[in-house]
Amino acid sequence: MNNSRRDFIKKATTGAAFLAAPAILGSARASGQTKAADAVTPFKLKYAPGLGMFRQHAGQDPIDNIKFIHDQGFRAVFDNNIMRKEPAVQEKIMSELNRLGMDFGPYVLRADSGKQDFVLNTQEVRDMLIAQMKEGAEFSKRTGAKQALIVLGRYDMKLHMDYQTANAIDNLRYCCDIMEPAGVTLVLEPLNHHTNHPGLFLKGIPQSYAICRAVNRVSCKTLDDLYHQQISEGNLIPNLEMAWSEIAAIHLGDNPGRNEPTTGEINYKNIFKYLYNKKYDGTLCMEHGISQRGTKEGEARVIQAYRECDSFEV
């Protein structure tokens, strides 16, 4: 991006729409409510906006989005759809992240919630999973991405859950045989079965923890999506503590509504303080909507919400 384009993006943050959100780069200077240095101070944790979350300010270009995100103090991004992008675009994204010293959250490798796969013990399923893992390993080798998200599919109503669990463990070991030599960690995502994903096999953190312990590979860990787990089981900090050895990534979103922190019932300020004190250095993917979607004010409010929740005492 040329200098004039970047200047335009920065100036866009200084308009009147931002006067209510002093943590936004530029708006703090306009409002006088916050020192300019504070406005661009990096966050304490690696909150990771999705590419395109701030399109009202940064437009559609992923590189412009990365630069805008970095200017607001974020030090990570995620993109669930990066594997669908052209290789040249993938490599540009990763190159820009490397240039700015930013992390990249888990990419989606397999998340077909409409099929039974990991719970089955068939050669057809195993061959399919192995082929998909090889694709992920090649993608990671080319881009440097280190974490791949997988969903373990639907449960089988005709098969005892213990057999399904044993099959999932075996299938995950086959997957790790491919991903581990490539330096990639698989992160299993439990999804809530009350609101969004009825019928899925993997529903909670205790279940995912037990599976990861049984697989017993450094390349098989858990992704804790706090939105989903608030719906499924609550008890968020105690579950984080009990499953800590097997958690490698975190997704964010408030409940109800699945929008930015401060819009629902989850006390994210306390959770972020807990993670900071645990010295968590992974990404926290902002996999949620915007309560005032489609507006610059809404995007500003997202950043301000993270500044509020990141203001815990250390």
Which stretch of 35-44, 233-242, 285-294 has the lowest confidence by average pLDDT? 35-44
Q: Where are the domains of the chain?
A: 1-11+22-32+46-104+252-314
Give the per-residue pLDDT at 17.
37
User: Cα–Cα distance between 104 and 93 in angstroms, integer?
Assistant: 10
Which stretch of 23-37, 139-153, 293-307 has the lowest confidence by average pLDDT? 23-37
User: Cα–Cα distance between 308 and 261 in angstroms, integer?
Assistant: 9
Give the per-residue pLDDT at 220.
98
Per-residue confidence at 40, pLDDT binned at 50, 70, 90? confident
Give the per-residue pLDDT at 113.
84
Q: Which has more pLDDT, 27 or 97?
A: 97
Mean pLDDT of the chain: 90
Per-residue confidence at 141, pLDDT binned at 50, 70, 90? very high
| Cβ neighbours for 99, distance < 8 A, ≥ 6 positions apart | none
Entry pTM:
0.88
| Cβ neighbours for 110, distance < 8 A, ≥ 6 positions apart | 117, 129, 132, 150, 151
Q: Is the pLDDT of residue 298 over 60?
A: yes
Q: Is the pLDDT of residue 25 over 90?
A: no
Give the per-residue pLDDT at 182.
97
User: Cα–Cα distance between 273 and 289 in angstroms, integer?
Assistant: 23
Please give the distance of CA 301 from its chain centroid, rounded to a whole number. 19
User: Cα–Cα distance between 146 and 183 in angstroms, integer?
Assistant: 7
Tokens describing residue 240: 């984080």
Mean pLDDT confidence for 202-218: 98
Q: Which residues of 223-247 are buried (b: 16+ CB within 10 A; e: fewer)?
A: bbbbbbbbbbbeebeebbeebeebb
Please, what is the Cα angle at 282 between 118 and 258, to 5 degrees? 70
Angle at which helices 3-12 and 62-71 cross, to 10° = 50
Mean pLDDT confidence for 167-189: 98
Q: Which has more pLDDT, 113 or 262?
A: 262
